């Protein structure tokens, strides 16, 4: 009975919220796409590219981190492999740049299978250990194997569009990164609404229960790990084509993996746009501090402290934190219905209106006070 009366109301709400979502999405896309033509100088476009790169990386990380709750500190390894794979395929195998990008991503995906197999067989702690070990081992290999990777001297990747002016080059890559971000977000959204995504989230909430309910937890975790690695590698490869110069210290840096985690966590790992939001905040702050303060060891301190604060005080990110804050202002904040009569409850649900609710509360309070 009550459900029946509520249904049309909920449908109406759903429609307005969907409209709002679509509107906000279109506005966001419009702003993002018009940014290059509004930017006063190519420098702003490069900042935009850096932030988009962070957003893709962090969204890719969130396939594993957000759905399954497994935190990988070593996703920088997949970005580095994508970058070096693309660069080496272009320079050594002389593949066309964008073919190299996808071949490298396929290779990384193939490598992610055994890595994921080793990492995901047991629970969380070993996964983290493997993820960090992966970055450290690849850093060792790419630094030592100088004859193939260029070692610490770096690897120069030729530009994919040789005749293009510098500003045009940046503009093109801005749109390429934006497109990749779009695909990554769309994939996340589709998984989020699928049965597969449901299983992954069940793993996050309680792996034992998920398993006893028949979710093929190992296969699910492995598949999403490979998907995540593939997107990360695409972002890394695109970065290689854009930036054109690779150094193992930066490509296989534990710090870049930490930034991905920080951004996703800050924005909110359970939300589609959480990592994007985190990338906007942290990425902008990073680029700003690079210009203002240069490269000092203090950026490590700031990153460390920020990560610590997020972990301690808002592990669900700013989106839930802000929503909770808003909700506190919006509703009565009542969690108990012990003092409310059934008639009042029915009335309240029938109207479902904020102002009436507070009126009821006020009259209640004055009643009990007098």
Partner 1 sequence: MPSTSLIFQSIVLGVLLGGLYALLAAGLTLYFGVMRVVMIAHSAFLILAAYLAWYAHRETGIDPLLTLVATVPLFFVAGVAMQRLLLTRLRPATLTMMSVLLTFSVALTIEGLLGYAFSGTQRRIRLGYSSAGFEFLGARIAAVKLIAFGMAALALLGLYVLMKHSRFGQALRATIQQREAAQLLGIDTDRIAGYGFGLGLATAAVGGTALALDTTIYPSLHWHWIGPLMAIIVVGGLGSVPGAAIAAMTLGMLQSLLQLELSTTWAQTVFYVALFATLAFRPQGFFGGRLAQRF
The smaller minimum CB distance to partner 1, of residues 300 and 326, is found at 300
Smallest distance, Å, CB 141 to partner 1?
A: 7
**Residue 290 engages partner 1 in binding (rule: CB under 8 A):** no
Binding mask 77-106 for partner 1 (x = CB under 8 A): ------------------------------
Which of 10, 13, 21, 123 is close enough to bind partner 1 by CB under 8 A? 123
Beta-carbon contacts of 80 under 8 Å, excluding residues fewer than 6 positions away, are 135, 138, 142, 236, 248, 251, 252, 253, 256
Judged by CB under 8 A, the number of residues near partner 1 is 47
With contact defined as beta carbons under 8 Å apart, do 287 and 294 qualify?
Answer: no
Which of 19, 110, 117, 148 is close enough to bind partner 1 by CB under 8 A? 117
Which of 203, 258, 263, 266 is close enough to bind partner 1 by CB under 8 A? 258
The Cβ of residue 145 has, within 10 Å, a number of other Cβ atoms equal to 12
DSSP 128-146: HHHHHHHHHHHHHHHHH-H
Smallest distance, Å, CB 180 to partner 1?
A: 26
Q: Which of residues 200-229 bind partner 1 (CB under 8 A)?
A: none
Which whole-number Å values give the CA distances from 35 to 45, 134, 278, in the listed order?
Answer: 8, 37, 19
From 82-90, 311-319, 320-328, 355-363, span contacting partner 1 (CB under 8 A)? 311-319
- Please report, to the nearest 10 degrees, the dihedral formed by the alpha carbons of residues 82, 88, 90, 94 taken in order: -140
With b for 16 or more beta-carbon neighbours within 10 A and e for fewer, the 102-129 pattern comes to: bbbbebbbebbeebbeebbeeeeeebee
**Residue 130 engages partner 1 in binding (rule: CB under 8 A):** yes
Residues that bind partner 1 (CB under 8 A): 69-71, 73, 114-115, 117-119, 121-126, 128-130, 132-133, 136-137, 140-141, 143-144, 254-255, 258, 261, 265, 296-308, 311-312, 315
């Amino acid at each position: 009975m009550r459900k029946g009366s509520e249904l049309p109301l909920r449908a109406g709400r759903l429609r307005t919220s969907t409209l709002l979502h679509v509107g906000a999405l279109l506005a966001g896309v419009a702003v993002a796409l018009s940014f290059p033509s509004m930017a006063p100088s190519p420098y702003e476009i490069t900042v935009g590219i850096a932030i988009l790169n962070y957003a893709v990386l962090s969204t890719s990380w969130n396939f594993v981190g957000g759905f399954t709750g497994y935190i990988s500190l070593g996703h920088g390894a997949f970005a580095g492999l994508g970058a070096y794979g693309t660069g080496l395929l272009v320079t050594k195998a002389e593949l066309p740049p964008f073919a190299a990008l996808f071949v490298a991503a396929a290779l990384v995906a193939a490598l992610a299978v055994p890595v994921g197999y080793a990492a995901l067989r047991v629970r969380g702690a070993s996964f983290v250990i493997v993820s960090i070990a992966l970055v450290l081992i690849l850093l060792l290999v790419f630094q030592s194997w100088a004859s193939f990777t260029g070692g610490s001297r770096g690897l120069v990747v030729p530009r994919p569009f040789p005749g293009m002016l510098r500003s045009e080059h940046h503009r093109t890559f801005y749109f390429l990164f934006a497109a990749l971000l779009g695909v990554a977000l769309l994939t996340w959204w589709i998984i989020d609404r699928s049965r597969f995504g449901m299983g992954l989230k069940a793993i996050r909430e309680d792996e034992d229960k998920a398993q006893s309910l028949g979710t093929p937890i190992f296969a699910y975790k492995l598949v999403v790990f490979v998907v995540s690695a593939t997107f990360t590698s695409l972002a890394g490869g695109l970065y290689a084509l854009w930036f054109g110069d690779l150094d193992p210290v930066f490509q296989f840096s534990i710090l870049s993996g930490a930034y991905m985690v920080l951004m996703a966590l800050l924005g909110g790992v359970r939300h589609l746009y959480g990592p994007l939001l985190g990338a906007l905040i942290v990425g902008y702050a990073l680029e700003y501090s690079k210009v203002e303060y240069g490269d000092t060891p203090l950026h490590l301190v700031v990153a460390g402290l920020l990560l610590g604060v997020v972990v301690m005080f808002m592990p669900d990110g700013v989106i839930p934190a802000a929503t909770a804050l808003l909700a506190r202002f919006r509703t009565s904040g009542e969690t108990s219905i012990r003092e409310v009569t059934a008639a009042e409850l029915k009335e309240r649900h029938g109207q479902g209106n904020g102002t009436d609710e507070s009126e009821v509360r006020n009259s209640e309070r004055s009643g009990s006070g007098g």
